[in-house]
Chains A and B, each alone.
Chain A
Amino acid sequence: MGVGRRAFVYLLTFWVILTLNFLLPRLLPGDPLAALLDPSSSDYVYDPEVRAALAAYYGLDRPLPEQYGRYLLGALTGDLGRSIRLNRPVAELVVGRLPWTLLLVGTALLFSSALALLTGTESAWRRGSWADRGLVSASILLANVPVYFVGMMLLLLFGARLRWLPLAGGRTPFARYPSALAAALDIGRHLILPALTLTLAMLGAKFLLVRNATVNILGEDFMLVARAKGLPEGRLKWGHALRNALLPFVAHLAAHAGMAVTGAVFIETLFSYPGMGRLIFESVTARDYPVIQGAFLVVSAVVLTANFLADLISLRLDPRLREGGAVG
């Protein structure tokens, strides 16, 4: 599949998501949106200014096609509605929160990937050894324990018991930093626990993936030939085995991005980290529909973009996926 076609498939998927996001609250029984404007309902929005904004955004008194058109137009121009709880545009909230999540997920993806690639290859290289068996068992455990459980344990251990690291938040509240370095350090300190949790949560599955893929690759004929060529061990392990294991690894990156988002929602909730997950959690508690929907759209867009990027990397890594057949 060419790059263009892949991009098209992702755009199509995003359109389905947009539509789903539009239809879901409108078609479901109970009419949750109407309840916001209905004085007799428990969800009634008392603030008249917010109520007016909501009525304008959802436009429930207009015909459905017109609502859909306005909604699409709004989504594409960055108008995601207004938060009931905070009385601020959803887009503004998202812009404030997204970097934190990207920082958290990015750090965790980076560390878990690097660690999984290194240990997975090493473990496969020494398959059957005690170290390998131990790592495999630990990874099976890690891959199946719920992320919030891991988070709680870490929180208890490092935050509450040892008091080494801050318990909550993305940075020290109301702090004024003398320098950019101090700011970075403070943010880094707050990042450690959540990022560690997310890294651990993803490490198990990633390790197993790399390790099993590499074990398969080590049985390939070209590995035997590479050994017969008298290449140094490092070249065999990293240049040939790992290089080939990268292909299935990247192919699974997309699935891992989704996993990371799931993890982030729990972890941010647990650590009161000011990212998108925390935003979703707060909005769910307050039944702040526009924010939930907006956050969902943005997260979906980010994950789909990550999928697309992973596809592009696959294309670069595997010559067999590229265009062009025989040279003869």
Chain B
Amino acid sequence: MRRLGGEVWFGLILLALCSAVAVLAPVLAPYDPRAFSGQPLERPSRAHPLGTNDVGQDILSELIYGARVSLTVALAAGAGTVLLGLLVGGMAGYAGGWLDQALMRLVDGMLSLPRLPLLILFATFLGSGLPQTIAVISFLFWPTTARVVRAQVQSVRQRGYVRMARQFGASHLYVFLRHILPAIGPLIAYGLVTSAGQAVAMEAGLAFLGLGDPLVQSWGLMMRFALNLPGLFLTDRWLWWLLPPALCITLLILALALIGIGLERNLNPRLARRWR
């Protein structure tokens, strides 16, 4: 591991902070986020540091519990994306031949589509529960990972030691587990972090567009309700209602992106020199 840059540390600390908040939500949150703990649209006060929303729920508690949603999506959709990408990319890279050709055409096709409209279409017909959202995001974002994984698998497969292992009579499974998986390990971490970031952005975006799970109080949903309030921007209410969730999402995405940049630099020292 090369020396980590300052921005990577920044990302890791932000992520750790967010995780801590998510885990400790019941301890940290002053109220149950669903309870109607105050009057609608209260301004910030000692009782409600960020005021209340249009139905009288405590915004700070919503915000704290929202971290759980975003992190769940990040983890699940990130893992789903990487798993699919690993499967398809690994298969294409390892098998080669027509299978590789076919899978890569599929990847190209999917990459040339506008993702958000496709996502909306799926979400519309699949329903907007959190599991569905995670599944759809994973399903739409795997091609990027698949392409990177395939390239790496292909280059490892050409290596002498892999061919020698086959020569010694190793099975495909053995070769994959012993030689190929370790070689793409760092890629997996990188893919996980970057697709997790995209997933968070997309989930929040869907919620923002009204395609989120109405039963899960996510940051995206908070933004949507805030924006639904007529004349939100005419008072300073946006300051404690809209800004905090927007800021939280942005910081989480940024944290993941920064960690990704650090990982990428480790993968590709040539690039590292360019960034400096």
Q: Which A residues are closer than 8 A to B by beta carbons? A: 9-10, 12-13, 16-17, 21, 24-25, 28, 30, 32, 127-128, 136, 140-141, 143-146, 148-149, 152, 155-156, 159-160, 167, 212, 215-216, 254-255, 257-258, 261-262, 265-266, 269-270, 280-281, 284-285, 287, 289, 292-293, 295-296, 299-300, 303-304, 307
Contact = CB atoms under 8 A, between A and B. Distances in A.
Given A145-B253, A160-B234, A258 B114 contact: yes
Interface in B6-58: none
B188 interface: no
B115 A258 contact: yes
A149 B246 contact: yes
28 contacts: A10-B112, A13-B112, A17-B113, A24-B122, A136-B275, A141-B254, A144-B197, A144-B254, A145-B250, A146-B253, A152-B242, A159-B233, A212-B271, A212-B274, A255-B111, A258-B113, A258-B114, A261-B114, A265-B116, A265-B117, A266-B205, A266-B208, A281-B209, A281-B210, A284-B209, A284-B210, A292-B120, A293-B121
Contact of B253 (A28, A144, A307): A144
Interface string B195-229: 00100010011001111000000000001000100
B128 to A, nearest CB: 10
Nearest to B200: A146
| Most chain A CB atoms below 10 A, which of B124, B242, B247 | B124
A293 B124 CA distance: 10
A160 B233 contact: yes
B233 A300 contact: no
Contacts of B103: none
Given A261-B117, A281-B209, A292-B120, A307 B250 contact: no
A156 B254 CA distance: 21
| Most chain B CB atoms below 10 A, which of A16, A160, A287, A295 | A160
Contacts of B234: 160
Given A145-B253, A146-B205, A152-B246, A30 B127 contact: yes
Contacts of B271: 212
A10 B109 CA distance: 8
Given A149-B249, A280-B117, A258 B254 contact: no
- Chain A, interface SS category: helix
B125 interface: yes
Contact of A155 (B118, B233, B275): B233
B109 A24 contact: no
Contacts of A303: 112-114
Given A16-B109, A167-B233, A292-B121, A128 B276 contact: yes
Interface string B231-267: 0011000100010001101100110011001000000
Interface string B80-112: 000000000000000000000000010011011
A261 B116 contact: yes
B9 to A, nearest CB: 15
Contacts of B209: 265-266, 269, 281, 284
A307 B126 contact: no
| Most chain B CB atoms below 10 A, which of A25, A136, A148 | A148
A283 to B, nearest CB: 9
B205 A284 contact: no
